[in-house]
Amino acid sequence: MTHLFAAQQDPADNLLPFDGILNDHGAVFAPDEADAHLRHLLADIPWRHDEVVIAGRRISTARQVAWYGDAAFGYTYSGVTRTALPWTDRLLAIKARVEQCMAPIRPEYPGFRFNACLLNLYADGTQGMAWHSDDEANLGPDTVIASVSFGATRTFALRHKRTGDKREMPLTHGQLIVMRGSTQTHWQHAVLKSTRIHAPRVSLTFRTFLA
Ligand X SMILES: O=C(O)CCC(=O)C(=O)O
> Which residue type is seen at 27?
A
| Of the candidate residues 16, 139, 191, 197, the single one contacting ligand X (CB under 6 A) | 191
At its nearest, how many Å lie between ligand X and the CB of residue 24? 13
Nearer to ligand X, 82 or 90 (CB): 82
Nearer to ligand X, 50 or 88 (CB): 50
186 binds ligand X (CB under 6 A): no
Give residue number: closest CB to ligand X.
203
Instruction: Single out the residue of 5, 138, 125 nearest to residue 69, CA to CA.
Output: 138
Provide the residue count of the chain: 211
147 binds ligand X (CB under 6 A): yes
Element (H, E) at 188: strand 187-191
At its nearest, how many Å lie between ligand X and the CB of residue 42? 15
Instruction: Single out the residue of 75, 67, 66 nearest to residue 42, CA to CA.
Output: 66
At its nearest, how many Å lie between ligand X and the CB of residue 93? 20
Interactions with ligand X, residue window 113-132 (CB under 6 A): 118, 120, 129
| Of the candidate residues 155, 172, 205, 208, the single one contacting ligand X (CB under 6 A) | 205
Nearest 10 degrees: CA dihedral of 180, 182, 186, 192?
A: 0
CA separation, residue 9 to residues 35, 54, 122, 136 (Å): 23, 38, 26, 29
| Of the candidate residues 23, 189, 197, 209, the single one contacting ligand X (CB under 6 A) | 189
Nearer to ligand X, 106 or 126 (CB): 126
| Residue 211 to residue 143: CA distance in whole angstroms | 14
Nearer to ligand X, 59 or 65 (CB): 65
**Percent helix, strand, coil in the chain (nearest 5)?**
20, 40, 40
| Of the candidate residues 176, 203, 206, 209, the single one contacting ligand X (CB under 6 A) | 203
Instruction: Single out the residue of 206, 157, 149 nearest to residue 28, CA to CA.
Output: 149
Binding site for ligand X (CB under 6 A): 118, 120, 129, 134, 147, 156, 171, 189, 191, 203, 205
